[in-house]
Amino acid sequence: MGMINYLFFVGIAAALFIAFRMLRLISYRVQRVQRFYPVVVVVELSLWIGFLFWVVTYFLESKSYYNELMLVLVIAVVVLLVWFYVKDIVAGFIFKIKHNPRTGQILYSQEGQGIIKKLSTSQLFIEGEGRNIVRIPYSRLLGKGMTLETADTHSASEAVLFLETTPGIDFTELERKLKLYLLQSPWCVPGKPIRIDFQSEPKHGIEVTVYLLDKSYAEVAKEKVKTLLDRTS
């Protein structure tokens, strides 16, 4: 029975680990449920703490040192909870001293890229492609490859993109969607004009003139515009 009990608790621990790894991934990456990510973290932490006390009580309640052990566990949990919250504040303090970030700068990191919209004490908020707001704790940025750039509208690179379209497309609606999409993208310079010309000879297509933060974004911009065209067609 002893081995069966051990396997029972190991199975529950494995199920919790897999379930919450999947929930974290979904709530962090999927735009519609991103606001629930902090809730998932709190629920996971609470369940792991409850699971720990359950295991200790089940196996060690009859031991003479049970009360002392529970006291140590309570103190350890409180310390860990405090550190769980404080570590991002400490990381934010170090991050701000080291990098001097400012709103309006462009962040490139493994956690995401976009324009910094807000700097709080424990995390920063960036506006990514499609104006998705992503929250990144400072502790995830320290010690990892990342760069901060200031958008320079004077040195913006002009890019001309040509893409073929199908005949009969609603050019007015397409122009509206393209301009809205490009203005919301993190690699398009705000305040610069976007020109869209439609051609019917020798091929049906559109010529998009846009100002990018860097010419290296030209291929990305063309691919994104092509994807939007495919959805519209």
Read off the pLDDT of residues 130-151 as tens digits, 9 standing for 90 and up. Answer: 556 778 888 888 877 788 876 6
160-178 average pLDDT score = 74
Give pLDDT, residue 191: 64
Where does the pLDDT of residue 29 fall: very low under 50, low under 70, confident under 90, or very high at 90 and above? low
Percent of the chain predicted with pLDDT > 90? 4
Token pair listed for 199? 């051609």
Domain layout of the chain by residue ranges? 2-97, 105-150, 153-232
Residue found by looking up tokens 């010529």 in the block:
207
Distance in angstroms (rounded) separating the CA atoms of residues 124 and 112:
11
Angle at 39 between CA 83 and CA 132, to 5 degrees: 105
Residue found by looking up tokens 């901060």 in the block:
148
Token pair listed for 46? 């609470």
Q: Does domain 153-232 have CATH number 3.30.70.100?
A: yes
Which H helix or E strand runs over 196?
A: strand 195-199
Give pLDDT, residue 71: 92
Distance in angstroms (rounded) separating the CA atoms of residues 75 and 72:
5
Q: What is the pLDDT of residues 90-141, one digit of tens each?
A: 888 998 888 888 877 888 888 888 778 788 888 888 876 655 677 888 888 8
Burial 164-190, CB ≥16 within 10 A → b, else e = ebeeeeeeeebbeebbebbeebbbbbe
Beta bridge partners of 162: 207
- Report which of residues 53 and 42 the model is more confident about: 53
Q: What CATH number matches the domain at 105-150, 3.10.350, 2.60.40, 2.30.30, 3.30.1490?
A: 2.30.30
